[in-house]
Amino acid sequence: MEALLEQSPLSAGTLYRLLSGSVCPRPIALVATQDKRGNANLAPFSFFNVASIDPPILAFSPLLDGSAQPKDTLRNLDDLEECVVHVGTEGLIEALNTTSASLPREEDEFTLAGLEKATMQGIRVPRIAAAPVAFGCKLVDVIRFGDRPLAGSLVLVQIVAIYIDDELWDGRHVNMEALQPIGRLAGSDYVRITDRFAIERPA
């Protein structure tokens, strides 16, 4: 297939399948937010990456649903401009899957997934106690790309606090074998890091 989208537009569903199936594997963020009443929310996002090192900025992109309604994550960030971003790992895969369900806004995904909460320094939003890595963040900006179904919003958050298990971090490197991060492919498929290779970068 070769298409000039201005002349031969593709449906949102087709674009989603094409992009999610070809831009992969993608790291997964499990993002905790909280509304103004103190209700916590957890949601996974595989449109996620590092946007800047200094200042330390993370980026993730929630999509509007099929009815063009925003996820609770976006609504909660309007209430409280803070979140905790956890790295998706093999140990959290069941929680990632469980918290991807569409639930009433007041329902707590921590409870649904059987996850214990822990405090995050400098942030009012709780972190997942069992998560090996968590970044406490404050909202920098939300760039909205439209109001149609599956339109995305680029959420930029600045890291203000970090939690990482001692066994994962030696002061210079993250222990990948201990972290066991996973990546998202298309549909229900994920990948592990059990088959890796290294290439020396040119000077």
At 13-23, the pLDDT tens digits run 999 999 999 99
pLDDT digit string, tens, across residues 130-153 = 999 999 999 999 999 999 999 999
Which of 2-6, 61-65, 104-108, 174-178 comes out lowest in average pLDDT? 104-108
Is pLDDT at 106 greater than 80 in this prediction? Answer: no
Q: CA 23 to CA 152: how far, in whole Å?
A: 16
Give the global pTM. 0.94
Residue range 27-165, CATH number: 2.30.110.10
